[in-house]
Structure 1
Amino acid sequence: MLDEPADHAIGSSRGGLTTKTHLVADGHGRGLAVLITPGQAGDSPMLADMLDGVKVPRLDAGAPRTTPDELIGDKAYSAAANRKLLRRRRIKAVIPERADQVTNRKRKGRSGGRAPDFDRDTYKRRNVIERAFNKAKQWRAIATRYDKLALTYRAGFALALVIEWLKLLGDTP
């Protein structure tokens, strides 16, 4: 097994050497924060770092906005620590429970606690993040990672996200 330096963000997974991209996007699929990790890294432990990367400047004076109203995530983010973090930051969590968590909670009976609140209608908007990934991966250099350093690859990904934001502005002076 080949050991890669940490600054390459390349790790082994079932498909060989891979990189995982973590993305936070707004409700329209425009990227707010991106993080690159080795392929074997889990999604769940990266949530706090991803939220720390969100900084949306305000049009009027004031500190940038760092707290979204809600976070729509897949089952990979369904961990007690993530739900606690989101409650502490007053962010509504729209994350389905994993089957093993449901089974464990039901096995405990009354002492297993309540099921976390889950809004199915809001969760239907999770496809927005998948579409944001697809837009970024229209760039060949993003779809097929050519860059050796994770910093360079992340910069290319960020550039693709910035271009999506610029499309929003169009011909605005």
Structure 2
Amino acid sequence: MRDKHITTTIPQLRDQIANRLRKGRHGGRPPAFNPDAYKRRNQVERGFNRRKHWRGYATRYDKLGAHFQATLDLVEMLDWLRAIPNGLI
């Protein structure tokens, strides 16, 4: 991932931080952590997980690309409609 310049967004646990400090310079380089990037990553992961709840989409029963795209569009629209508060529709 370093070759592709992808930064990590994994937070460190308290005990790992303590062990790293205890080891001093032999503790290695701490991973960079950006809370804003972690928040965006979490939102993207939750979006993928919402789509995986749709059985036909998750298992990809559709053989043709056009049918799969139509299923994806339908899942996206229904997910978008669920996100709108009840009084606005």
> Which amino acid in structure 1 is aligned with residue 65 of structure 2?
A
Give the SS at the match of 1:99. coil
Number of residue equivalences? 61
Per-residue deviation at 1:146? 0.7
Per-residue deviation at 1:148? 0.9
Identity score, percent: 34
CA distance in 1, matches of 2:78, 2:88: 14
Name the structure 2 match of 1:120: 34
Name the structure 1 match of 2:3: 100
CA distance in 2, matches of 1:139, 1:153: 12
Aligned-residue CA RMSD (Å):
2.2
Name the structure 1 match of 2:88: 172
User: Normalized per residue, which structure has more helix?
Assistant: 2
Instruction: List gaps (5 residues or longer) in structure 2.
Output: 6-31
TM-score (norm 2): 0.57
Name the structure 2 match of 1:151: 66
CA distance in 1, matches of 2:82, 2:42: 20
> Which amino acid in structure 2 is aligned with residue 160 of structure 1?
V
Instruction: List gaps (5 residues or longer) in structure 1.
Output: 1-97, 103-117
TM-score (norm 1): 0.31
Name the structure 2 match of 1:141: 56
* CA 1:101–1:165: 2 relative to 1, 3 Å: closer
